[in-house]
Amino acid sequence: MRVEPIDDRPHLPDSEQWLEQWQFDVWSPDHDLGGWIHFTHNPLAKTGWYVAALVGSRRQLVLVVDPELRIGTLSPSMEFRAEAIWAQHVCETPLSHWTIGLEAFGVTLDDPAAAMGNQWGKRPSVGLDLEWESNDDPQRNDEGFTQECVVNGEVLLDEETIGIDTRGCRRRKWGSPRQKTTTQPKTLAIPIRVGEHILEIEHDPLLGRWEGDLRM
């Protein structure tokens, strides 16, 4: 079954457990910076959760996390505001071009293992103004699709401004979760607890980038 442009948009839910998920990955070796943005929306429960993570081999892990978003009707730009967070996810052209914006205060963790706890640490300002543009056809899988992209824009971390011109990936999932998976993280992955879910970020040396995975 081929991926259609409508698949980039929210679908009509068929159960209260229905989830719409959008994920955006980027890796800039020039700046030793990996970025991972994940947004999940439950349209019937009118809830959602969000995480943005910035990490590098010589950088501390910086997180922006909200596991308990209250979202009524999802706007066309998929914009939401929460405590210390403003974010939007604009589908400029389905299967071709997305723009991601973020203004927030994150938390800097000396030890990535702290991402599984209360996530106390310094509170840097975090800004994202990034565009994902496809450079390959979407690849269908059992849960949705993935798509290779080029990524351009800026990342702001306190006083540091990082120009991004590199490669990345988009992941799109929708439907009701099939089963609960183990809460044990993969070896060498950085696990991040977001409510009842665990998100993992792991460096893939073969692809030369940081990749994220969701464990329901």
What does pTM read for this prediction?
A: 0.84
Question: Phi/psi at 31 (nearest 5 deg)?
Answer: -115, 10
Q: Give the total residue count for the chain.
A: 216
- Residue 202 and residue 35: Cα distance in Å, rounded? 11
Question: Phi/psi at 149 (nearest 5 deg)?
Answer: -145, 165
* Residue pLDDT tens, the chain, 216 long: 799 999 999 998 888 888 999 999 898 888 988 888 999 899 999 988 898 999 887 888 898 988 888 998 889 999 999 989 999 999 999 999 999 999 999 998 877 666 666 667 889 999 999 999 999 999 999 889 999 999 999 999 999 999 999 999 999 999 987 654 444 545 556 666 655 666 676 655 455 555 556 555
- Dihedral of the alpha carbons of 174, 190, 109, 33, in degrees to the nearest 10: -80
* Closest to 195 in 3D by CA, of 51, 78, 72, 82: 51
Question: What pLDDT, on a 0 to 100 scale, did the predictor assign at position 182?
Answer: 47
**CB crowding 183-201: b at 16 or more within 10 Å, else e:** eebeeebbbbbbeebbbbb
Token look-up 């329901």 returns: 216
Contact indicator for 52, 80 with CB cutoff of 8 Å: no
- Residue 165 and residue 33: Cα distance in Å, rounded? 12
Contact indicator for 64, 126 with CB cutoff of 8 Å: yes
- Walk me through the domains of the chain, giving residue ranges and CATH numbers: 14-215 (2.40.370)
